[in-house]
A = this chain, B = another copy of it.
Amino acid sequence: MMKKPTTLQDIADYCNLSKGMVGKVIRNPEQCKASARTRQLVAEAVQKLDYRPNFAAKALTTRRTYCVGILFPAVNSFYYELGIKLDVALARHGYTSLFAYWDVSRNPLQAYQEVFERIRLRNVDAVVTCQHEPFLIGKGIPVIIYGNEYQDVDCVFPNKKDFGVRAVQYLVKKGHRDIGCSGHFPDIRYQAIREEMKRQDLEINEEWFIGGSSYSHGGYEAMQRILSCRHRPTAMIMHSDHMASGALLAAHEHGCRVPDDISILSYDNLNESQYTIPPLTTFDQDFPQGAELIAQVLLNRMDNPESPFRKYSFKMPLIERLSVKDLTS
């Protein structure tokens, strides 16, 4: 059934032109040194015969697939949301996303590498991922890292130091002096928060700095630890919205109210964070902007394969909702 798709040759026959000529006209109708009549003719034929170029053939000659591999761990909606935004941004620039999420339940590193190899086989023009590993480099394929800062690759990341500083300043402005923090340590945010706290002359209680998983259950466990302290902080800075949602649940189970008994300030601004109880006050990763930045870096890398690696950081706007209490009023 499925009739054979129209090719350049079909158009050429229809127009009494050569295949090559038709190709040129279709690729660049503007300045392709073809007569107006020819352009018109080809345009009609394209319409009439429903011509659509064969991507495989094009990729074969141009050595460009216009596909970008998107590699993230299959852990939670953070990476899902990011991936979607990335897809949208890349689509705007003519790229299609090849997604590949790796399973983290058993040997994540190996799963990551397998996924990378799988995508590499598809001859993608570049890869966007979030975690730098040795197997990524030297494979002749541009890599862009989102979310973290490294030396030997292009990267795009939120300014974590700025986050740390502003998070503390915001809490202080709201009258908080007993501040804790939880995330996956070591981390720039962790450092920045401590430094800013010192600068603000706040006492640092080591009990309130809890390292662990950056997923929901990590936040859940961290909050349990906090709630078991004889002296509790008035505010916690969580390194992700998922952690915050876990913390929220732990607090709720202990009859501890947020933000009345303890405030939570977070990081990400996921879609769902406007529907937590209470809705989260959080720094917005602004995925659309980050995604667009990645697209820019990508295009730049394609055009200048030998240019030095670039780093882009962006500041996160604070979204004030209801999880932080104003102690001064």
Which A residues are within 8 Å of any B CB, using their own CB? 1-3, 5, 52-57, 59-60, 65, 67, 70, 74, 76-77, 80-81, 83-84, 87-88, 91, 96-101, 103, 118-123, 140, 216, 220, 242, 245-246, 248-249, 252, 271-272, 274-279, 305-306
Whether A1 lies near B87 (C-beta < 8 A) is no
Q: Determine whether the beta carbon of B80 is less than 8 Å from that of A123.
A: no
CA distance A216 to B84 in the complex (A): 19
B60 touching A57 by the CB < 8 A rule?
yes
A277 and B248 in contact, given A80-B77, A87-B101, A99-B83 (Cβ under 8 angstroms): yes
Q: Is A121 a contact of B84 with CB atoms below 8 Å?
A: no
Contact of A55 among B99, B122, B276 (CB under 8 A): B122
Q: Which residues of B contact A5 (CB under 8 A)?
A: 140
- A69's nearest neighbour on chain B, judged by CB, is B96
Copies in the complex: 2
A71 CB, min distance to chain B CBs, angstroms: 11
Could you tell me the distance between the alpha carbons of A245 and B272 in the complex, rounded to whole angstroms? 9
Alpha-carbon gap, A277 to B271, bound state (A): 17
Contact B96 A96 (CB under 8 A): no
Add 14 more A-B contacts to A55-B56, A80-B83, A88-B103 (CB < 8 A). Answer: A52-B120, A53-B121, A55-B121, A55-B123, A57-B60, A67-B98, A74-B84, A77-B80, A77-B81, A77-B271, A96-B119, A97-B100, A216-B274, A249-B275
Chain B residues whose C-beta falls within 8 Å of the C-beta of A122 in the assembled complex:
55, 96
Q: How far is the CA of A274 from the CA of B121 in the complex (A)?
A: 37
Top 8 nearest A-B pairs by Cβ distance? Answer: A80-B80, A56-B59, A77-B77, A2-B140, A56-B60, A245-B275, A277-B277, A56-B56
Q: Judging by beta carbons under 8 Å apart, are B99 and A97 in contact?
A: yes
Establish whether residues A271 and B88, one from each chain, have CB atoms under 8 Å apart when the complex forms: no
A206 CB to closest chain B CB (Å) equals 27
CB distance from A78 to the nearest CB of B (A): 10
Q: Determine if A100 and B87 form an interchain contact, defined as CB atoms under 8 angstroms apart.
A: yes
Residues from chain B with a CB closer than 8 A to the CB of A2 are: 140, 305
Residue of B nearest to A216 (CB): B275
Contact partner of A121 among B52, B67, B246, CB < 8 A?
B52
A56 to chain B, nearest CB (A): 4
Q: Which of B3, B56, B70, B120 contacts A65 (CB 8 A)?
A: B56
A239 CB → nearest B CB, Å: 16
Question: In the complex, which of the residues A88, A252, A278, A279 has the most CB atoms of chain B within 10 Å of its own CB atom?
Answer: A88
The one of B54, B59, B249, B279 in contact with A249, judged by C-beta atoms closer than 8 angstroms, is B279
CA distance A96 to B241 in the complex (A): 30
Chain B residue nearest to A120 (CB atoms) is B52
Which residues of the partner chain B approach A52 to less than 8 Å between Cβ atoms?
120-121
